Structure 1
Amino acid sequence: MGLPDDLALPEDFVPRVPPEVPAEPRDAATVVLLRDGSAGPEVFLQRRVDGMPFAGGMTVFPGGGVDQRDADTSVSWNGPQPSWWAEQFDCTPKLARALVCAAVRETFEESGVLLAGHSAETVVADTSPYADARQALVSRELSFARFLSEAGLVLRADLLRPWSNWVTPEVETRRYDTRFFLAAMPRGQRADAVTTEAADAYWRTPQGALEDWKGGHCGLLPPTWMTLTELATCGSVANALETDRAVGKVVPRVVRREGRWRVVLPGEPGYDET
């Protein structure tokens, strides 16, 4: 599956003078929250604030960069161990642990959804008692491991599913090596827009979000467009979570065509253009 011809990057996303040496990608995690709606599965989307250093104004899933403290081995953990996640994302167990913790932490920071419980079999139904801790996590005054320990919570790695791995093109000055996860919306919780990084947040079917993009009502980056397209074929949240996928690292490239910046994927015509 390739990207559509009319998917182009905004002009200000590509520097006029590309860096002589590509920036080192920063490890990051993104979580696609899913719930079953009357018209099929829905995803939680956020429109980033205009003018942000990375992906300003674009519609994305919650996520962000890995904090060095996310690799803390003291985190109470239920589900596949870091060694299993390392195999899925082709990385070290230490990084795999950090990626899973970052996925859960960033989802909580950006949407208020917490994939953790007071035991290995439960998930908190109300995250409002942790509002102060959420802000302390955002400001980095509190590490995720310390938050879980003080709250007596177990991280539910078993609620996550690996989905894909995208790396920002070399031409861009801010680059991320982002691992995408899926997770079902926990019962009783609600996703919100209480974050300085989002101007708006809402639930939409994958097909509806793609139609919004087609109509010019939202901007999508290639990983988001591709993920929505893939999820549009799933008839339910359960089907999406049960999908068996091989996760390979995708490193797109940017080329100039017909006066616009186009993104091409490995194996597509033009990928090796200068």
Structure 2
Amino acid sequence: MAMKTLGRRRQSVAAAAPEADENRWIEIAGLHKVYRPRKSEPTHALSAIDFAARRGEFISVVGPSGCGKTTLLKILAGLVPKTEGTVRVAGRDVEGPLPEVGMVFQAATLLPWRTILQNVMVPAEIQRLDKTVYRDRAGDLLQMVGLGGFEDKYPDELSGGMQQRAGICRALVHDPAVLLMDEPFGALDAMTREYMNVELLRIWRESGKTVVLVTHSIPEAVFLSDRVVVLSPRPGRIAEVIDIDLERPRDLSVMASDRAGVYVERIRKYFHAHSVID
């Protein structure tokens, strides 16, 4: 089925820089972020972040509220400037938004006056890509996430989970090298969230993208990830990077397994140590 090559094409709009290292597809070195408001004291959000992710890896970032998780994601997306350090994606320095990056936000933020297909096409339109080619790609993506037949529906005609799937398609339509996700399922009920976790793994597997997910759910991070990055309280530092050695493909039974439980407790100890829980 053509879906499985959707994100693995060598000739991509978001082609990597020639010097891109697939073992350091995302590279962060000496990253600091300090917010300096005009009328209040500076806030040191992130401190001395050093990390690298391989191409095609699934990374989750967890940590207590206010530790800089979303700030880290926004710096990777080029939406927030760093204060100090180096940030590279697919061999390119991140100094602003890059076509190599797609982002899924906490809410689907679909435009209510546009159909689902038209919403998915927004990044292609902004980047002035070939409408015919990318309309076909948008249709393929909607088929991949189970929204075939909903192309002409409007956002208010879809459930919350369906809207988030459309949001994922929108982030993937321009074929980015990296998909960033900021707590995308936090507003969903428990059953829909579990279903979306399984769907996300399938989408990741079929698209071949590198994913960085921010989540407050430790079990979710363990279930989805190759590695979990644990941040300390503000200013956010890397407390530990944990390899998740669970076989793939994974189904929901993995969440209840003893092996997954060991990882969950290992991560949770950082929250208990600072009297905060996810």
Give yes or no for TM over 0.5: no
- TM-score tier after normalising by the smaller chain length: under 0.3
| TM-score normalised by structure 2 residue count | 0.25
| TM-score normalised by structure 1 residue count | 0.25
Q: Which has the higher strand share?
A: 1
